[in-house]
């Protein structure tokens, strides 16, 4: 099919015109038509708006990340503070409350312990008093044998005696070691002290109400006199129960105190009165002795002191 020559020429002419226009637009000094410029401006604004929108999105994302980081930091700080400050404080408070509770219980237990300790000490003292009373009640008398070993006259013409003193029990068996004394004279003197407790001491030890003490104080010859006598029961500070009183089990503290007090006041009437003891039958007995004879001294709180000769055994 053949196109008309005129039409072809028009097409060539229009194409050439468009080409010339494009060439003109590309020149630096040339500007595009207003419609095209407007279109370009619109495209630029849309691009700018898109960029700004993207920037907003990025900013929002950044803010979100920063906010999350801040929230996370605050949360960690809160957790750290709670774990390292709040929890220890609460634990310390609980521990303090438990400590106060333990102190309260300890105080109560200590108070109960002191009460029980006081009751135990009181019961122990009462037991000691009872044991002492039973011991003293068993000893209602003291016995001693004095054997005259020799009776003679010295070169100066002075009579003398050599005697052996031995404390014995009710069966006649020796209590302690025999002791020998040389006395001036021909008469044998024995000083005994029989003691009972007065009300003042009984108030502290009611179990001792019926108890008594029998003490062999000294022995001498008629020429010696009391000041020249020899002590029988050991006396002095630190000396415990004498003779048969010491033959029982070890003395308890209460009994030891009794004897300590006793020896302390033995020669002091004022202290005797203050302690509450008295010598009911304190007395001195004597006898004119014969050589080879054994004399028994009996001291009883109820009826005093007696000295009597013992019958000689067939062997003697």
Is the domain of 58 the same as that of 149? no
Residue 44 lies in domain: 33-127
Q: Where are the beta strands (DSSP E) in 66-203?
A: 141-153, 159-168, 179-184, 187-197
Which residues are within 8 A (CB) of 243 and not within 5 positions of it... i.e. 6 or more apart?
142, 167, 175, 176, 216, 233
Confidence of residue 14 (pLDDT cuts 50, 70, 90): very low
* 118 Cβ neighbours under 8 A, 6+ residues apart: none
Round to the nearest angstrom and report the end-to-end CA distance of the chain.
195
Considering the domain architecture, whether residues 120 and 167 belong to the same structural domain is answered as: no
Residue 14 inside a domain? The answer is: no
- Tell me, yes or no, whether 73 lies in a domain: yes
Model pLDDT, residue 268: 67
Residues 152 and 299 in one domain: yes
Domain boundary residue, one of 127, 162, 186: 127
What's the average model confidence in pLDDT over 110-133?
A: 80
The verdict on 197 and 296 lying in the same domain is yes
Percent of the chain with pLDDT over 90: 23
The verdict on residue 20 lying in a domain is no
pLDDT (0 to 100) of residue 309: 93
Average model confidence (pLDDT) for the chain? 75
How far apart are alpha carbons 207 and 192 in whole angstroms? Answer: 24
**CA 283/CA 297 separation, integer angstroms:** 12
Q: What is the pLDDT of residue 96?
A: 84
Q: What percent of the chain has pLDDT over 70?
A: 64
**Residue 315 forms part of a structural domain:** no
The pLDDT value given to residue 249: 59
| Most confident range, picked from 31-35, 36-40, 102-106 | 102-106
Of residues 147 and 28, the one with the higher pLDDT is: 147
**Are the beta carbons of 308 and 295 closer than 8 angstroms?**
yes
Whether residue 115 is found in the same domain as residue 145: no
pLDDT tens-digit series, residues 234-276: 765 556 677 877 766 566 676 677 677 666 666 666 666 655 5
The more confident residue out of 221 and 303 is 221
Query: What is the value of pTM for the model shown?
Result: 0.55
pLDDT in tens, 194-210: 776 655 444 454 555 45
**Co-location of 147 and 122 in the same domain:** no
Whether the per-residue pLDDT at 8 is higher than 50: the answer is: no
Q: Is residue 300 part of a domain?
A: yes
- Please tell me the predicted confidence (pLDDT) of residue 221: 95
Q: Check pLDDT > 50 for residue 54.
A: yes
How many folded domains does the chain comprise? Answer: 2
Would you say residue 29 has pLDDT above 70? no
Farthest-apart Cα atoms in the chain, separation: 207
Q: Tell whether the model's pLDDT for residue 100 goes beyond 70.
A: yes
pLDDT of residue 202: 46
Statement to judge: residues 88 and 214 lie in one domain: no
pLDDT class for 18, splitting at 50, 70, 90? Answer: very low
Summarize the confidence of residues 105-122 as an average pLDDT. 86
Q: In this structure, is residue 17 part of a structural domain? A: no
Question: What is the predicted pLDDT for the residue at 25?
Answer: 46
Asked if residue 277 belongs to a domain, the reply is yes
Same domain, yes or no: 100 and 150: no
pLDDT in tens, 60-98: 777 887 877 777 777 777 777 777 777 787 888 888 888
On whether the CB atoms of residues 115 and 216 are closer than 8 A, the answer is no
For the record, the structure tokens of 304 come out as: 């005093």
- Over the stretch 128-170, which tens digit does the pLDDT of each residue have? 767 766 666 667 788 999 999 999 999 999 999 999 999 998 8
Does residue 204 share a domain with residue 97?
no
Of 94, 127, 160, the domain-final residue: 127
Which residue, 92, 107, 127, sits at the end of a domain? 127
**Same domain? 63 vs 179:** no
Let me know whether 204 and 273 are in one domain.
yes
CA distances to 142, 285, 298 from 193, in Å: 11, 11, 12
pLDDT at 35: 63
Quick check: 292 pLDDT over 70?
A: yes
Buried b (16+ CB within 10 A) or exposed e, 67-95: eeeeeeeeeeeeeeeeeeeeeeeeeeeee
Across the range 204-219, mean pLDDT stands at: 68
Gap between the Cα atoms of 10 and 165, Å rounded: 181
Same domain assignment for residues 114 and 148: no
Q: What is the rounded distance in angstroms from the CA atom of residue 200 to the CA atom of residue 277?
A: 8
Are 305 and 299 a contacting pair, CB within 8 Å? Answer: yes
Residue 258 burial (CB < 10 Å; 0-12/13-18/19+)?
Answer: buried
Beta-sheet strands, E only, within 157-211: 159-168, 179-184, 187-197
pLDDT of the residue at 287:
94
Q: Residue 291 pLDDT > 80, yes or no?
A: yes
Q: Is residue 234 part of a domain?
A: yes
């Amino acid at each position: 099919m053949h196109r008309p020559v005129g039409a072809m020429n028009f097409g060539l002419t229009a194409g050439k015109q468009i080409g010339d226009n494009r060439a003109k637009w590309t020149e630096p000094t040339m500007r595009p038509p207003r419609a095209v410029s407007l279109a370009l401006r619109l495209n630029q604004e849309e691009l700018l708006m898109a960029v700004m929108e993207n920037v907003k999105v990025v900013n929002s994302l950044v803010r979100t990340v920063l906010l999350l980081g801040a929230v996370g930091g605050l949360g960690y700080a809160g957790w750290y503070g709670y774990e390292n400050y709040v929890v220890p404080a609460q634990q310390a408070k609980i521990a303090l409350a438990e400590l106060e509770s333990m102190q309260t219980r300890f105080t109560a237990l200590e108070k109960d312990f002191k009460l029980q300790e006081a009751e135990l000490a009181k019961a122990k003292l009462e037991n000691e008093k009872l044991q002492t009373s039973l011991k003293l009640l068993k000893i209602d008398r003291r016995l001693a044998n004095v054997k005259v070993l020799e009776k003679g006259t010295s070169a100066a013409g002075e009579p003398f005696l050599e005697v052996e003193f031995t404390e014995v029990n009710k069966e006649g068996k020796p209590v302690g070691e025999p002791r020998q004394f040389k006395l001036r004279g021909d008469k044998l003197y024995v000083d005994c002290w029989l003691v009972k407790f007065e009300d003042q001491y009984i108030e502290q030890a009611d179990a001792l109400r019926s108890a008594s003490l029998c003490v062999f104080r000294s022995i001498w010859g008629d020429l010696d006199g009391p000041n020249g006598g020899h002590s029988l029961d050991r006396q002095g500070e630190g000396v415990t129960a004498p003779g048969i009183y010491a033959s029982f089990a070890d003395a308890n503290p209460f009994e030891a105190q009794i004897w300590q007090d006793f020896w302390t006041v033995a020669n002091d009437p004022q202290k005797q009165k203050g302690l509450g003891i008295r010598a009911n039958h304190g007395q001195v007995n004597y006898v004119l002795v014969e050589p080879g004879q054994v004399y028994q001294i009996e001291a009883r709180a109820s009826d005093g002191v007696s000295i009597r000769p013992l019958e000689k055994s067939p062997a003697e």
